[in-house]
A and B are shown apart, each in its own frame.
Chain A
Amino acid sequence: EDQVTQSPEALRLQEGESSSLNCSYTVSGLRGLFWYRQDPGKGPEFLFTLYSAGEEKEKERLKATLTKKESFLHITAPKPEDSATYLCAPPASSNTGKLIFGQGTTLQVKP
């Protein structure tokens, strides 16, 4: 059964304090993994797609990495505007195009 687990569930950081979010998954025939950012009351906003182990992608203060079993979202010197819920999602093993979402990590960055 496809499963995605994100940790921690919640993370509080001071502005400038770097950290990492974890996404662990069990999906057969992994065909990539997506990271999204979701603000309260809004739909998820696409951040990254990673397709193979060892791949890295960066966007501003965010960097996503992928291994065979997990993915990390590194946040370097975060700012209060980075506060949001971060969701990871691999495509389902069934190859139907649907994504399997983790429960998310809610990040709060205090000034």
Chain B
Amino acid sequence: GAVVSQHPSRVICKSGTSVKIECRSLDFQATTMFWYRQFPKQSLMLMATSNEGSKATYEQGVEKDKFLINHASLTLSTLTVTSAHPEDSSFYICSARDYRGNEKLFFGSGTQLSVL
């Protein structure tokens, strides 16, 4: 099956610093990628939809200046958490949809962000 690689798997940072998370589709081209956030024992909450070559679409309540998304190529999307604070600590997961319009989403392995 299709593979989505997410890096890093875990990051610990100090409050006020920025953290970048990468999401790559390894064996297919992804015109659309999705970024989710998951708190302990809760389900996945969509943060934003990332479209190659255009601006991301953010879900209601998600600060676009806080969570910067860049989708510069058909295989790479990045999420940067700017000026991170402890309340940003969470599990972030990306998913990619292949360009042929298949609605099946393939997920990365997730990134556990801990802000001290």
What is the interface of chain A, defined by CB distance below 8 A to chain B?
A: 31-32, 34, 36, 41-46, 49, 87, 91, 96-99, 101-104, 106
Contact = CB atoms under 8 A, between A and B. Distances in A.
Name B's interface SS. strand
B32 A97 contact: yes
A73 to B, nearest CB: 15
Name A's interface SS. loop
B104 interface: yes
A87 B44 contact: yes
Contact of A99 (B57, B105, B112): B105
B49 A97 contact: yes
Contacts of B93: 43-44
Given A87-B43, A101-B44, A44 B104 contact: no
Nearest to B108: A43
Contacts of B46: 98-99
B103 interface: yes
A61 B9 CA distance: 30
B109 A42 contact: yes
B108 to A, nearest CB: 5
B49 A44 contact: no
A102 B43 contact: yes
A45 B109 CA distance: 9
A44 B1 CA distance: 14
A15 B69 CA distance: 44
